[in-house]
Amino acid sequence: MELSRTHHVLLFPFPAKGHIKPFFSLAQLLCNAGLHVTFLNTDHHHRRIHDLNRLAAQLPTLHFDSVSDGLPPDEPRDVPDRKLCESIRQVTSSLFRELLVSYNNGTSSGRPPITCVITDVMFRFPIDIAEELGIPVFTFSTFSARFLFLIFWIPKLLEDGQLRYPEQELHGVPGAEGLIRWKDLPGFWSVEDVADWDPMNFVNQTLATSRSSGLILNTFDELEAPFLTSLSKIYKKIYSLGPINSLLKNIQSQPQYNLWKEDHSCMAWLDSQPRKSVVFVSFGSVVKLTNRQLVEFWNGLVNSGKPFLLVLRSDVIEAGEEVVRENMERKAEGRWMIVSWAPQEEVLAHDAVGGFLTHSGWNSTLESLAAGVPMISWPQIGDQTSNSTWVSKVWRIGLQLEDGFDSSTIETMVRSVMDQTMEKTVAELAERAKNRASKNGTSYRNFQTLIQDITNIIETHI
């Protein structure tokens, strides 16, 4: 679908890798549909984009821009905490408004005016500002439909008096009866004391996004049908485009582009391994481990007898990393490979990979599901706990690892996941995901509808 290049969409993800990655997939989809796209990051994340000049050359209708998040350069940003969120609200919001005005006044280096904004569901101020300036706005949730719906259900839980203690099982949640605890709810993970939890902050921020022209989701209809139905009563329109990376592969003729440097040397190592023999281990871009946890993981993996590929970021563990790594490597007898950051989708799609030990972020969950790889989920923050619950209890394509584990637990779980008892179930889900993202699948058709709706809304505002 080739459109006029004057249609110019600005995408603004929340400043965290787990949000930026699916937003960048959406940006590529929009470029392929003939739209001009500006991808707006905070300065911190913009500086970390790998080979920006190459990306600009390969995607000529995609432009990168950035704004300050208001924090000093040396301020930690590993976890998007309250301090970062408050700084964005106070500082970035005014800069965002100035940027939109500069684009639409023709003072932004010759780019066409912004005719549509797609903002993260974590932000309220872009919706307020876009409305003020008369620019159509859509919302993109990089969470599951389930997790987003839970935010809207919090007032009902408060009204019913259900939120009394963290382990309490919650009742009356449509589509999630007996599967959610208070501590699984949005924002709970970020507080040190239960009394500090401010649920209505999340509710009010998210409620504002229901004023947008529509909600974009990285999911597919069959996977989260009850929650999509519930959200369709809140938002004007729902566009489920997942798995978004699978959709992009089916639409974009050239390879997908990545924002961060990846170590592809692991692919040759995987080529040398037997089919479905390797455990892939990655805890995402945020989660950190104690030395003890890493040693227990390592010993459990080694004792399982399975070869494994481990992603070990430079900042993933505490002090003493070199001593820990030396002790681990002596025990592994060469049945392993360590990389700092892997091409995760390629790894999961490789024939040698038979299991995935993951933090259970939504991107990783969908990528593993789409590749037909069962999971061991070790959730830590945000939506990860409920993702893990659905993996283990609802879809039955993995196991959930609780804190307090030891190496024997890891060993047992690895062997269970790798024994191929879940292979049929996860293969069936993978086939459904593939069909939904294929041409004429529901996600593909939803994307065509999104492009048409964006175009129609833009033209009514011109």
- Which residues are designated catalytic? 19, 120
**Dmax (CA) of the chain:** 66
Torsion angle of C-alpha atoms 73, 75, 81, 87, degrees rounded to 10: -50
Calpha distance 63→66 (Å, rounded): 10
Residue 4 CA, distance from chain mean position: 30
Structure tokens at 188: 């709970």
Name beta bridge partners: 169: 181
31 and 6 Cβ atoms separated by less than 8 Å: no
* Dihedral angle, C-alpha 382, 204, 227, 24, nearest 10 °: -60
Q: Which helix (H) or strand (E) holds 74?
A: none
Residues 6+ positions from 205 with CB-CB distance below 8 Å: 122, 123, 124
Structure tokens at 116: 């549509």
Round to whole Å and give the CA distance between 81 and 382: 11
Which residue from 380, 391, 278 is spatially nearest to 336, judged by alpha carbons? 278
User: Is residue 278 within 8 Å of residue 307, measured between CB atoms?
Assistant: yes
| Cis ω for the linkage preceding 243 (within 30 of 0) | yes
Please name the amino acid found at residue 14.
F
What region, left, alpha or beta, does residue 178 occupy, with left being phi > 0 and alpha being psi -120 to 50 degrees?
Answer: left
**What are the C-alpha distances in Å from 443 to residues 167, 216, 217, 223?**
36, 11, 10, 12
Cα distances (angstroms) measured from residue 4 to each of 1, 271, 364, 458, 459: 10, 44, 35, 11, 11
Distance CA 20, CA 3 (A): 25
Residue 347 to residues 132, 335, 364: CA-CA distances in angstroms? 45, 17, 12
CA angle 38, 42, 44 (to 5 degrees): 130
Which residues, in sequence order, are CB contacts of 28 under 8 Å at separation 6+? 59, 62, 248, 252, 256, 257
